[in-house]
Structure formats: C-alpha cells, structure tokens
Amino acid sequence: MSDKPETVVLPDSPDAAQLKTVTGWVSRHGLFYGKDEIQARYDGCTHVKCSECGVVVEKGYTACEECREKFRIVREADRKREEWDQETPLYSEAYSEYLMDFDEVEDYLDQHECTFEHLDAVLCEKNEARIELDHFGHLLGDDYDDAPKELTDAIDAFNKAMSGIAISWSATDVVATCKELQPEDLRVRGMPRAK
C-alpha cells in the first residue's frame, strides 16, 4: 500500500467529469468512428471500386465478377496437380463431398451425370492418432524428464501401433486428376455442375 492519501472525487465534483465537444467521423448510418475516416466512409457506402479495374461493385466484394473469375483461374492454374492413385480418398470441392474409393467416385459421377473434372476433386491426407508427452503436461509440471518410463513407453507403443492408420481424412490443396474417368466423349461443355 502506498502512503499517499487517496484522492476522493464525488460524482458532483467538477473533477469527476466535464462536458466536452468531440469531433469525429460519423457514417451515413449514424455510427461514430472518431478519427477513423476510412472505416466511417466504408460503413456509409453501398458500393466500392474493383481493386483491379475500378468498376463499381457492391460493397462486400473487393473486385468485380470478371476480375474475381480472372483471379480464380490464375489461382487454379497455380495449384499442384497429381494423378489419383484410385485408392486415396478424394474431396469434391464442387459438391462439398468426401468420396472414399473408386467405386464411390464412379457412382457419384453416374448419379450426378458429370465428369471427374466437374468434381473439382482434391486428394485427401490421413489423420493419424498420435499422443505427445505434452498431452500430460498439466500433470507432469515443468520437468518432463521426470515422467515415469511406463508412461513414455506406453506413449511410444501407442504411437507405433497407430502409425500409418487413418482414423479420418482431411482434404489437401492438391488437385486430383484421373485419366481413367475422363473419357474424351464425356468432356462436353455445359454438363450439369454444382454451385
């Protein structure tokens, strides 16, 4: 405790508060933004200019539809592609659907009358079950070196037993290609497509 006597300020004291005139930016919706002119203007606007070509677009987008499509094509072309081994599960970005094996993919294409290309399929990767000593950190305290050997042995045995076993799958960013499911005669423009 400090020896300095605490100052007492009652609510009716002039020191408690003063009436001041405050200047700041107020948006068209009546929201006060203080010095933040940019945010106030953004709140009050209905449209913005495309960051690429300057065309006026609805607020919420940063680029016009044409430029967004241009960006999408560039992004798509930059993605890594890999021929599917026909065993690794796939994730269809177009249909938001996991497809676990070749038969399931074939059935799906039949049902939706689309080609493999239309799935926008990416390869999945395994999620393995693994335990780290950290998992018991709250019980072990700071010094993991004192962890009982039985615990570290059990963790090693668990990790060894689960190694290579998929307990679930996650989509990666690698686009899957599949020559077998892309017969020339099916590559027709205007096929039904999700989205």
Say how many residues touch Zn ion, by CB under 5 A.
Answer: 6
Window of 6-14, 48-56, 71-79, 187-195 that interacts with Zn ion by CB under 5 A:
48-56
Rank residues 53 and 100 by Cβ distance to Zn ion and give the closer one.
Answer: 53
- Does 52 participate in binding Zn ion (rule CB under 5 A)? yes
Within 8 A by CB and 6+ apart from 53, the residues are 63, 64, 66, 67
| Amino acid letter for position 7 | T
- Does 48 participate in binding Zn ion (rule CB under 5 A)? no
Rank residues 40 and 64 by Cβ distance to Zn ion and give the closer one.
Answer: 64
Phi–psi pair at 89, nearest 5 degrees: -60, 150
Q: What x-and-dash track marks residues 75-114 binding Zn ion by CB under 5 A?
A: ----------------------------------------
Within 8 A by CB and 6+ apart from 93, the residues are 119, 120, 121, 122, 171
Within 8 A by CB and 6+ apart from 26, the residues are 32, 33, 40
- Does 64 participate in binding Zn ion (rule CB under 5 A)? yes
Rounded Cα–Cα distance for residues 24 and 43 (Å): 14
- Does 53 participate in binding Zn ion (rule CB under 5 A)? yes
Chain residues that interact with Zn ion, rule: CB under 5 A? 50, 52-53, 55, 64, 67
